[in-house]
Amino acid sequence: MIRIASSLPSARLRLAALAALALAAGACTPIADNLGNRTLKENVEQIQVGRTSKAEVTRLLGSPSNVAAFDNNTWYYISSRQVQYAFLKPRIVDQNVLVIRFDESGAVREMKQLGMKDAQASTYVERTTPTRGGEPGIVRSLYDTLMRGPINRGRTGPQSRRGPEY
């Protein structure tokens, strides 16, 4: 009887350790996400330079992820795969960009496949664009609050809709 009682806490301890190990292993399972417009290889292979139209490309691949800002005849199909472990920041493990350029008649002129090796690091500008008049101070905030407060709620006409003029 004494042996059974002394082995009971040990069995519970082993079970708790096993449960903690299972939870820890489950927390390390990566979460994978597919982002963007994943194009099927079979559909991309059906596109022929000089023959396929914009309508056919849309039928095969769907709407583009992006259209070039200054050239409506350049379409981008962008997709990426990211993996996240537990609470860590997600990391991009694969990225593909299919660039399709059309000629003036709407037929495919050029197709280019870009991957992770073609990616370029970009830097962000930390500056902010100044606004006209600068940041409002305490006096300006109080004035705005008073002018839009309960005193002016009863007004009718165009002035009540515009708010204070600066």
Q: Is the pLDDT of residue 35 over 90?
A: no
pLDDT at 129: 77
pTM: 0.56
Tell me the per-residue pLDDT of 117-162, one tens digit each, with 9 for 90 and over: 887 887 888 887 777 666 777 888 888 888 876 655 555 555 545 5
Rg of the chain on CA atoms, in Å = 31
**Residue 19 CA: distances (Å) to CA of 11, 85, 95:** 12, 20, 37
Q: Is the pLDDT of residue 2 over 50?
A: no
* Mean pLDDT for the stretch of residues 76-82: 91
* Buried-state track 51-75, b at ≥16 Cβ within 10 A, e below 16: ebebebbeebbeebbeeeeeeeebb
* Mean pLDDT for the stretch of residues 44-58: 92
Higher pLDDT, 152 or 96: 96
Percent of the chain whose predicted confidence (pLDDT) is above 70: 78
Output phi, psi for 80, to 5 deg: -150, 160
Higher pLDDT, 17 or 63: 63
